Chains A and B, each alone.
Chain A
Amino acid sequence: MGRQLLNSRPNDPRPPVLVVEDLWIRFNAEGRALQAVGGVSFAVEAGETLAIVGESGSGKSVTAHAIIGLVDIPPGEITKGDIRFLGQSLLADGGRLAREVRGREIGMVFQDALAALNPGFSVGYQLAELFRAHQGLGKRAALARAVELIDRVGIPNARQRAGDYPHQLSGGMRQRIAIAMAIALDPAVIIADEPTTALDVTVQAQIMELLAKLQAETGAALILITHDLGLVAAHADRLAVMYASRLVELGPARTVFQRPSHPYTIGLLESVPSRSRDALELPAIPGQPPDLANLPPGCAFQPRCAHSRDRARCLEERPALQRVDDQQQSACHFFEELADRRQRVLAGA
């Protein structure tokens, strides 16, 4: 299983569980080629929570779907790059390994739990099936494990609830069952794609607390895909910011919040209404995200950037992700000039 493979490299104390390397994904639709993911690289370590934030169309979900082999090909096309799970390529051989690890060593939680569950079987049966199919348990033993798991995700009267069908459960309960399915086979990585977006805030808090608890217990890496910066502030160790198919900033969540090193991150943080600072006008980012079928040759954020001032380099040369310091990376040609603006965000101006 995953953990053994991990331990087989004793020289490296914390090798990344998952590595995404220069990933390029394109969707061909109606004669147009949309660049969904454009050269994204990051690594995730065991036990850490990496949040990927971005707005609609930024490529955050497509990246996650590629990891678990859920990008439809065609119309999707992975044109370049690789994804490696414990050193092995998930894309090689037509994505054979991706299909193999999906749901086992890489668990998934989606926004809509109802879609992840089969409406025709009781939740206990669906969980038990996982143990029967993958661990060869008998009917009885598998069901016992399922009940155990239902209890573990904080559902009272687990034995009774095991007989419920998905439609009999509330949204929060269904998401708990979906989480149970994701962690059933003790995965090394859990991918949660907007896991709480469809839930009410008090239930949201319960679900996030549960995910954090299970992650601490299992030592799995958690990739949290979200548009909610508040959720990131409360739960992520590291943060990757995506804009128009590209990774624009990567670093420890705290650092990125306090000293953002990309104009888009700065704009994003400033435009969120905060409860502690009260300004009459929110500093909104002007304009719209670019057309993914027609990305500019230079920096994709340049047309909306307050800092670029139409400098030739921003217009012509696509900025690579470069080191800000040991932990933080930025895809801005002029990140060094941003020190003043960071201070402003800090001061809450």
Chain B
Amino acid sequence: MNRIDNLFKHKSNNILSIYFTAGHPTLTSTVDILSELESSGVDMVEIGMPFSDPLADGPVIQDASSKALGNGMSIKVLLEQLQDVRSKVTIPLLLMGYINPVLQYGVEAFCKKCSEVGIDGVILPDLPMNIYQESFQKYFEQYNLRFIFLITPQTSDDRIRMIDSLSSGFIYMVSSASTTGAKAEIESSQVSYFERVKGLGLKNPLVIGFGISNRETFNRACSYANGAIIGSAFVKMLTETGDWKDGIGKFVRGVK
């Protein structure tokens, strides 16, 4: 069974997912960070594939991406690093990034390699639904990868239902109209959006991301969804903490 499906089958709330950018703070830190996250009790991880022009990201992840690229990270290098990851890490792993580097790698080759190393899902926010369906869905399904779509406060109910019918794994619920790391809290205006989506009775689990940075925002998000994703706050900790191995445990304990 796909590890994402398995996770949501056995756990329906307070799922903590962490995002970080591969190749940052150092080129070879990726697998160590994953091991540390698993032993700290994180439920799922999104590994960012750095891109030169990350237009949905705020300054923290932009900076991490540019450092990672400077360190020599690429999809090819990342998938090589992950070759043996399943001997060390058992939680669900997703790759998240922008469509252009994946197109250059080759979408089918990418899906095949992801499946070989034990990746469970992929998030490509700038791959539109219609092009996914026409050209790429077949590869993701063939290699048993979950393709995760985003919804935002501006996404209509009809479109959310369409995304739900096309989705598997979970739906990534962007908490507010923003780039990543732009807000550090959940405002009351967002609550009506959370309640609206919760009320739609979707078949897929919901995981809230963007603006989740600490225990308070994590708990608040989890009261409307099955779990939440922390990205910028975690990446910022990695950037700012010299001893990030120690920092990961502290960070996760501070949230859970």
- The answer to whether A and B belong to the same complex is no
A residues touching B (Cβ–Cβ < 8 Å)? Answer: none
B residues touching A (Cβ–Cβ < 8 Å)? Answer: none
